Amino acid sequence: MGKLTILALLSVLALAEIVTALRITTTVVEDDNIPEQRSHEQIQTKQQLQHCQTYLREIARRPATRRGQGDRLEQCCNDLRSLDQECRCQGLQQAILHQQQQQQQQTHQGEGFQERLLKEAETLPSKCDTTPRTCSFQRPRWI
């Protein structure tokens, strides 16, 4: 009888071990890339802020000619406002990079083009009355 009790107890313990091993544990892992991925998708939807690219390019080429840029600025601002707040500076960064790549493929845009492009992009959120109010972009060594 004692052996049967020990055998039954061992069977129950073994069964409990199997049940414990089979228990499914759900772990929520927060992926830091999800907001970045969402921003990337939003920016792509807005064609890498095409209106902002056009506005920045025109202002950087002809800084004294701000007249007639109101419509372009408003279109750019609409694009910026349509992005989540945390995506706006990243979107402007991509617009800058795209313009820099185009500028390298074309003829020289004149001295200071890159610096004017960056300065204008940094203050663009403020001009559009969006948050963040400014963006900060790292200057390449050659500026």
CATH number of the domain to which 72 belongs: 1.10.110.10
pLDDT of residue 100: 83
Is 143 inside a domain boundary?
Answer: no
State the pLDDT confidence band at 115, using cuts at 50, 70 and 90.
confident
- List CB contacts of 59: < 8 A, sequence separation 6 or more: 66, 69, 116, 120
| 8 Å CB contact between 71 and 123 | no
Strongest mean pLDDT among 6-10, 16-20, 25-29, 84-88: 84-88
pLDDT surpasses 60 at 114: yes
Does a structural domain hold residue 26?
no
* CA 81/CA 86 separation, integer angstroms: 11
* Bigger pLDDT: 18 vs 116: 116
Q: Is the pLDDT of residue 25 over 50?
A: no
Give the pLDDT score at 137.
Answer: 87
Residue 44 is predicted with a pLDDT of 86
User: Is 19 part of any domain?
Assistant: no
Residues 6+ apart with CB under 8 A from 56: 76, 95, 96, 99, 117, 120, 121, 124
**Number of compact structural domains in the chain:** 1
If residue 68 lies in a helix (H) or strand (E), which one and from where to where?
A: none
Q: How many helices (H) and strands (E) does the chain have?
A: 6, 0
- Read off the amino acid at residue 109: Q
Residue 55, domain member (yes or no): yes
Report the share of the chain in percent with pLDDT over 90. 36
Report yes or no on 5 lying in a domain. Answer: no
